[in-house]
Structure 1
């Protein structure tokens, strides 16, 4: 029963009439079965859906092509910028190499005349660099893939960090050399002439041959006595044959002594700089006349101060202050 009704439904026919509104045209009509109409609409729907699908795929394809092109251009641009930054970093490395070379020289003459900065230069391209150049010659193009960009960025970051560390090391070394320069005794503690040098001499009081462990610089009473290096005042008072004594503890094991002063201008614990007045020249203690008795010690060993007057002191390494000043106990003029 139901099957017959379904067949009757699909066999129904519809009449399509075309009636002209003007003139005496003939009216036309057509009988169209319902099954044809349904088949037409189903086919139309399928064609429309399929066309829409193909259009969407085509649009997505070209959209992805455009996006890829834009991305490749961006990657290529970033790669070129990384290469330019790498070139700049190479220039920085060259400047640093020259600077390190100059810091190894001992005089302006050596800086001007020395041509051996690159005598031990080494290096060479990596296998990836060689392959890249080969690909450039064969393919007429550079590898600008996203992976290559990441690799270049990582290599640049690593080398930049290494360069920063290198500059920090260089800065630390310069700071250390600056501290060594400031702490090392240098120059005259007072203007005048050397009346008694370092070494064996006849004692002016006992008339016996004794060893003089400093130098005596004569001058008018009241002449400023100045620190020959940066440091901290360890002794500032009267001490036996030294008279009014100043002892400065410098870094890197150095200490200096200034004896026979007429007036002391600093106290224990004061920090002083090279060239700062610490006392006034006098004639106190075991002294035959106004002068400054000057001693240079390093790690509790006496040094001839004469070399430090001229600045020809021994070259220092990265030494540290290992001991405190030895309290003077010897009568010395």
Structure 2
């Protein structure tokens, strides 16, 4: 079921996960992952096709589950008004909320027609009918969980990806208000107590020693995202890559400011000024801030864009992905 090496490259929506990155990781013996989030089903399929051209090794595709949360339109509108001065400074207008399902049905239909070897889900667990349909097609199904209760609800999956509080990017919880994040090693113990499913551990892992420690605690593999963001094969924007090495960014924090869902990123001006005011409204807030974030990147301004990063971000380097996988492999 698992790749040669116990290293999974995290699916990172919004740019970092490219066919080149996934193929390089898989060719090196790890498991590369693509990300369908924020893409159309057609763009998702194009990434799969491109990756198959680049590697004959197994790789995966990650899908966002539709948001089940109730949204307060008035709170979203108030936050949009709050961001108007930011938008004016950048020469854009705040965005308008749009579809909330990320094209889920179209993506599932496309993937079931011709799935990659691994399919994973974030922000929830699909129904058993969907999981079994992928399993019948020969795909390994992985569900991201952040609590023991979520692990119980994902019992039909082939494996679970445990996302600890140290992880960068969005918290993959089943709901937008699921309590305080749990550190990875505690989460691993909590989930192992309720399931015998294979567990992939994610959150703040950046070295071979980190990975060896997680394997010793019972994980079958380690998933790393931030460690791969600065790789030349990564599609992360230059502002993001540079910020991970910029000494003026010294810490990370959880915030809803950019998307309306908790996510860990480098502490910059936007995060500091707006975190307390952002409603729990994903993906509505994502749509509202999207034009501002794009403009900030275009203008080279790291203080106006989400700089997703795990707690070990300072260890991310520009090392090519294959060499990075080799250096991360426990001896």
Question: Is the shorter-chain TM-score for this pair beyond 0.5, marking a shared fold?
Answer: no
Q: Given the two structures, how large is their TM-score scaled by the length of structure 2?
A: 0.21
Q: Given the two structures, how large is their TM-score scaled by the length of structure 1?
A: 0.21
Q: Which has the higher helix share?
A: 1
Structure 1 or 2, whichever has the larger Rg, is 1
